[in-house]
Every structure is written in C-alpha cells, then in structure tokens.
Amino acid sequence: MPSSPACIGLTGGIGSGKSAALQAFHRRGAAVLSADEVVHRLYVDPAVVQAVVARFGSEVLADDGSVDRPALGAAAMASDGGMAFLEELLHPRIGDARTSWIEEQRAADPTPPLLVCEVPLLFEVGLADRFDAVLVVTASDDVRRARVEARGQDFDARAALQWDEDRKVAAANASFVNDGTEAELDAWVGDMFRVWAAHGAA
C-alpha cells in the first residue's frame, strides 16, 4: 500500500449522484469529505451567520439561529449578485477546511487507502490541479431534473451555475453515467477504488 494515499476530486452536475458515489467510496474504506457537511458546519459559524444575515436578512435563519439553507438558497437566487456573494464568503473557508482535512488524513497512522473529496464546483472554481485525479458522476438532463425537482429545487437555475455535463466529462480522468441502478454506480466506484488505492499520490 502506498505510504501517501492518492486524493481524488469527485464532482458532477446537480442531481448526478455524487453523494451516493461518495458513500460507496466510504464503504470501501476510503476517507471521504462531503462538501455538504463542510458547508453545514460553516452555516453555524458565527462569522458566516453574521455575514449572511447582513446580506440577506434574518429571514434566512432557522429557529435555532443557524442558517436555513433552503431559505438562503432561494434568497440568493432571487438577489442580484447573491450567489456570487455566497461563493466569495464560503469558497475560501471550504478550501481551508479541505486542505486541513487532506493534511490530517495523510498524517494519520495508519493512513487511509484513498482520500475522496466531493467538490460540486471543482472545475468551475479551477481546482482540478489540486487532486491526483478527478472523477465525474453524470446523468442525463431528464434524470437529473427529476431528482432535483423531487427535492423541491429549481433545476435550471442551479444547473446554470455549473459547466455543462459534456465539458466536465471531457476534463475528467474518468466518468460514469448514473442513469441506472445504485448497484451499477457501486460497481464503478469499486473499480475506481481499486485503481486509485493502488496508485498512491502522483
């Protein structure tokens, strides 16, 4: 086993199934970092909460004083420059959290066989060169739209913030079209785990 595990960036469009893929890597023993969990922690950080309230008002807060993410998402989408504000606020903090996590995992004893970071806007914010490889989980627009709208979210507005799927696939080291079953996605993750756990850091 390599002494320094490879670190994979996992990305894909909204509704593609990134979270399910991340869970499949975790089941195989990879250390995984969920972007959603990092953001969740940031939205209870007093400095972040204060900045969000100053920009969007207290109506984006939940009863416990943390950020109500659906309410904030709707407010940011409706506000001119709202999404850009959130990106400027969150992305540096997310990057710092990810860098610290990678360093901690590579210093652990024993080290995990593989590190996998879920990064929804990996290509869009220019992070591809931070990883040993980039894997894309994609799906047809109809499938992704159905998944997103089932969660009560606006597919078109959110997809417009991301590279189109073909562009992401072309830029990735490997990709999977997640239009089928969870078992098929799991099998692909198993293949990727075997390849990159044996590869080690480049």
User: Does position 163 have pLDDT exceeding 80, yes or no?
Assistant: yes
With cut-offs at 50, 70 and 90, classify the pLDDT of residue 152: confident
**Alpha-helical segments (H) within 57-136:** 69-78, 82-107
Residues 131-144 have a mean pLDDT of 95
Q: C-alpha angle 152/155/160, rounded to 5°?
A: 145
Q: Are the beta carbons of 52 and 89 closer than 8 angstroms?
A: yes
The predicted-structure confidence for 70-115, as pLDDT tens digits, reads as follows 899 889 989 999 999 999 999 999 999 999 999 999 999 899 999 9
The predicted structure's pLDDT at residue 65: 87
Give the start-to-end residue ranges of the domains of the chain.
Answer: 7-199
**HSE-up (13 A, CA, CB side) for residue 143:** 13
The CATH topology of domain 7-199 is: Rossmann fold (3.40.50)
The predicted structure's pLDDT at residue 112: 96
User: Does position 1 have pLDDT exceeding 60, yes or no?
Assistant: no
